[in-house]
Chain A
Amino acid sequence: MKRITAPLDADTIDDLEVGDEVLISGVIYTMRDAAHAKVAEIIEKKGKLPFDLTNQVVYYCGPTPAKEGNVIGSCGPTTSSRMDKYTPMLLERGLKGMIGKGERSVPVKDAIAKYGAIYFSALGGLGAEYARDVKKSEVIAFPELGPEAIYRMEIEDFYAVVINDAKGNDYFVINQYN
Chain B
Amino acid sequence: MRPIKCEKITGIVERMVIDANHFLPYDVFTCMKEAADLESTKKAKTVIYKILENHKIAKKGTYPLCQDTGIVVVFLEVGNETSTDGDIYKAINKGVEAGYAKGFLRKSMADPLTRENTGTNTPAIIHTKLVKGPHIKISLMTKGAGAENKSALKMLSPSDGIEGIKEFVLDTVRKAGASACPPFVIGVGIGGNMEMCAILAKKSLMRELDDFNKSDKNAAKLEAELFKEINKLDIGPLGFGGNTTALAVKVETKPCHIASLPVAVNIQCHSARHKTFTI
Q: Which of A's residues lie within 8 Å of B, judged by CB? A: 19, 21, 34, 61-67, 70, 73-76, 78-81, 101-103, 121, 123-129, 131-132, 146-147, 159, 161, 171-172, 175-176, 178
Q: Are B179 and A101 in contact (CB under 8 A)?
A: yes
Query: How many angstroms between the C-alpha atoms of A147 and B135 in the bound complex?
Result: 38
Query: How many angstroms between the C-alpha atoms of A161 and B107 in the bound complex?
Result: 29
Instruction: Please pick, from A65, A80, A123, the residue contacting B47 in the complex, using a CB distance under 8 A.
Output: A123
Q: Are A79 and B104 in contact (CB under 8 A)?
A: no
Instruction: Please pick, from B43, B54, B104, B180, the residue contacting A65 in the complex, using a CB distance under 8 A.
Output: B104
Contacts A70-B62, A175-B241, A176-B234 given: A63-B104 contact, CB under 8 Å?
A: no
Can you list 29 contacts pairing A with B, beta carbon distance less than 8 Å? A34-B115, A61-B67, A62-B67, A62-B106, A64-B104, A73-B67, A73-B104, A73-B106, A79-B146, A79-B149, A79-B179, A81-B179, A103-B178, A121-B178, A124-B179, A125-B51, A125-B54, A125-B65, A125-B270, A125-B271, A126-B51, A128-B62, A129-B53, A129-B54, A131-B57, A132-B57, A175-B234, A175-B240, A178-B241
Q: Are B146 and A127 in contact (CB under 8 A)?
A: no
The B interface, classified by DSSP as helix, strand, loop or mixed, is: loop
Contacts A125-B181, A175-B241 given: A64-B63 contact, CB under 8 Å?
A: yes
**Which residue of B is nearest A70, CB measured?**
B62
> How many A-B residue contacts, CB cutoff 8 Å?
139
Q: Are A101 and B238 in contact (CB under 8 A)?
A: yes
Interface centre among A19, A70, A78, A127 (most CB of B within 10 A): A127
**In the assembled complex, B138 has its CB within 8 A of some CB on chain A:** no
Query: How many angstroms between the C-alpha atoms of A103 and B240 in the bound complex?
Result: 11
Residue-wise, chain B 226-237 has the 8 Å CB interface mask toward A (1 for contact) of: 000000001000
Q: Are B181 and A67 in contact (CB under 8 A)?
A: no
**Which residue of B is nearest A65, CB measured?**
B104
Query: How many angstroms between the C-alpha atoms of A81 and B176 in the bound complex?
Result: 12
**In the assembled complex, B64 has its CB within 8 A of some CB on chain A:** yes
Chain B residues with CB under 8 A of A78: 67-68, 146
Contacts A172-B178, A172-B239, A175-B240 given: A127-B66 contact, CB under 8 Å?
A: yes
